[in-house]
Chain A
Amino acid sequence: MSSEVKRVLFLVGSPKAPGKSVSEALGVYVIDKMKALGWSSETIFIRTTLQSDKGRTALLEAVEDTDLIILSFPLYVDSLPAPVIRAMELISERHSEKNTRFAAISNCGFPEAQHNNVALAICRCFALASGLEWAGGLALGMGGAVSGQRLKDGGGRSRNIVKSLDLTADAFVKNKTVPDDAIRLMAKPLIPKRMYTTMGNIGWQQQAKRYGVRKKLRDRPYQR
């Protein structure tokens, strides 16, 4: 690395469009904080970048040219979304010798953050297999209750998330791993569990109503 300015690469693991995902909002908060502390950044949306040879090459070059990688993703079937795993497979083929650091933020729609544990263990395993230095992971539950705007405003039910991300960004610029306090704060329920599941169950019905399928929510099209 010729420049004195430290670089952070933000990998967005959500397949959603820019500006639409909790994964992106969580990572952007950390990246913005690190930029304010003098770091430069690059952001790559994994799903779209894997669609072309040019994108795949750009991904691998960006991984080579950074000091820290932060991956933020939604939990998919207890693990990472398929395109994120594909990106990991590609990155791992080029085993790095640079001790670039790698951290992950996993979020899920279940109320308990512990659902993310296996996915974060996979992230750690990936780092070890790829010559990257594991810088730790954060797990968030109740992702359905997080709003990107609230994170920016730093208040309301997102306050523990904001505190956690502040601690994490501070640790990263000091070359440290994700602090235990940040992990604990991120895992705290945003609202009572029963309230979350009740709101969630109502929310599914409201969304289905918009498509005129509220009464079909329990359909079994593949019943044998």
Chain B
Amino acid sequence: MKRSIAVVLGAAATAISLVLTGCGSGSDSSDSSSGPVTLTLAGWSLSTTPEFKTLADGFHAAHPDVTVQLKEYDATNYDTQMIADLAAGKAPDIYVQKNLKNFYTYQHGKQLLDVSDVAKQLGDSVGGLSDYQVDGKTYAIPYRQDTWVLFYNKDLFTKAGVPDPDGSWTWDDYVNASKQLTAKLKSAGSKALGDYEHTWQSTVQGFALAQTPGASLQSGNFSYLKPYYSRALDLQKSGAQVSLGDATTNSLTYQAEFGKQQAAMMLMGTWYIATLLSQQASGDADQFQWGMAPAPQFDKSTTGTSATPVSFGDPTGLGINPKISKNKVAVAKQFLAYAAGTDGAKALAGIGITPANTSAVTGTFFALKGMPTDDLSKFAFATHNTKPENPVSKYTAGLQNILNDLHTSVMSANKPVDAAITDAQQRAKNEVLNK
């Protein structure tokens, strides 16, 4: 009796699995016939972030039989939600690498398809590609690459009678200019300060890591941060920039600080261009002349418009979910190539987004209404050696958390720089690098 039940159950299971696989293969074969294909693409805050729709529509125009459907995620919880969806097998075919910090988690967790062939086809005009390479294989394709530059308010510079940045600045020049601006603006009856430094750790640490020769996050040696923090503290103490404490307790936004002319200079990523343009058009920001200059440099060797200034910024990339059905892989790769290529870059530049391929779009970009037209702004936008803020490794997230604690305790003057660095190195060794 018992055995016969087992046999029946076994037979039923086999039958069911046969039926299932039969269905599976059947649908596969019907899909692969060159009918219309629908790709799904992840995005966030779709109503205020038009880049995903721009890419989807642009690709559909070039490939009418392919529809790209957007799946919306929450901007701040994007990675948490995406990780949950991937683990549940419900993630879209193509998903965005919002920052480099979590790329390791996705790649190490085998949630990204190898797209080396797309990378090879794109060549090296695309910035940030190498950040997505692990053991010689590429796992995501960057479609935008923001770089940190110096935004400055030309009207306030004129008012203070301080000469505009000319691309030759080291950090000491920047500090001097900021102090001068503060003093002269004050005597000219303006309340604006020399510069605004936002509350993020990257405003200090990003530059220190990218520009200091030999600096490395994973080395666990953070002495490269010291000169950058000494200067930031100097600016804060002299009153040329709002202190971190005042910025956090009053929830200052960098958009208002620069857009409402509270500060003459601000270091910020190029994503701010689109915001500033739209806020000036809508009236959320004041009307004033502004420009961009390369970020101040570590030393004179990378200053001047004949050199390539060093800055930092993480690329934003597209990766393919390995659970995508096989017949869609080729189309998905085409989409990646389109987004990172010249056509995608132009479409993105048209809405004020900095694509990964900046040199191809400088013309389009500076034709936008409200953009500055001087040569230095164009140079700052198009020419830079941009290093990653979060070099890819299994330690990055943990180390950045430790360095964020260092940032808040140093900038709020609770700990001297040296002690904070020693402390952070100790923690890095005991809590992160020992894993």
B is bound to A: no
- Give the interface of A toward B (CB within 8 A): none
- Give the interface of B toward A (CB within 8 A): none
